[in-house]
Amino acid sequence: MRQDARPLIGITTSDRKSRIAWWFDWFAVWRHGGRPLRLSPSRPRPTALDGLIIGGGDDIEAHHYGGEIQLDVRVDPERDELELALLERFIPRGTPVLGICRGAQLINVHLGGTLDPDIETTYEGIKRQRTVLPRKTVDIVGDSRLYHLLRVTWCRINSLHHQAVQEAGRGIEIVARDRDGLVQAIESREHDFLIGVQWHPEWLIFNRPQQRLIRALIKAARTAR
């Protein structure tokens, strides 16, 4: 493969993801020089990738992190299996990985961490904010990898989740929280690029810090291959 060719970036989705949502995934990777490849339970699993995005979507099955089963949420067991297998394969290879929303949670669970199954139950009086617009403020830990990539100490983000990282997994550091104290970003101390953000940077196409994050993934994928 030519060194200047676009690195292949796998993006995990459900089989039922809308075309509009997939377009934002595709465009986010393509505009920064990557070659997006959709990965879902019904598609063949790749043997080689230059980078991996674990995307947003339904809740993770509670038994993966020792949580209590909730009957009023959507889960996708086949997708859980796919993504856990991909992390098992590509993290040890040093493949750059970015987790988005559910993806950040799954990275933490894969490394032995836990989740808060419903933040609106756990945190009394928390303001419900479910929007693709950047309405929530997060503070980023100084000198973290995320801080150096985004180049900001705080930023405005969107919010589409009702679960959150609770106890950090092996080698995981919590590097951003919102003003309610909820975990909003994690990163690994043991890998060159293993980052999870609770928000959706792919929807924030005019937000420079968020686009720097996706650009950094593509750059890391190009360097690592």
- List, by residue number, the catalytic residues: 101, 200, 202
Contact yes or no for 24/45 (Cβ under 8 A): no
Query: Are 79 and 127 in contact, with CB atoms under 8 Å apart?
Result: no
Give dist(CA 142, CA 133) in Å, integer: 25
E strand map for 101-213:
115-116, 131-140, 154-159, 164-165, 172-178, 183-188, 194-197
Alpha helix segments (H runs only) across the chain = 19-30, 77-90, 102-110, 119-122, 145-150, 208-224
Kindly state the tokens that stand for 181. Answer: 């104290």
Contact 215, 1 (CB under 8 A): no
Structure tokens at 27: 């465009």
SS3 content of the chain, % helix, strand, coil (to 5): 30, 25, 45
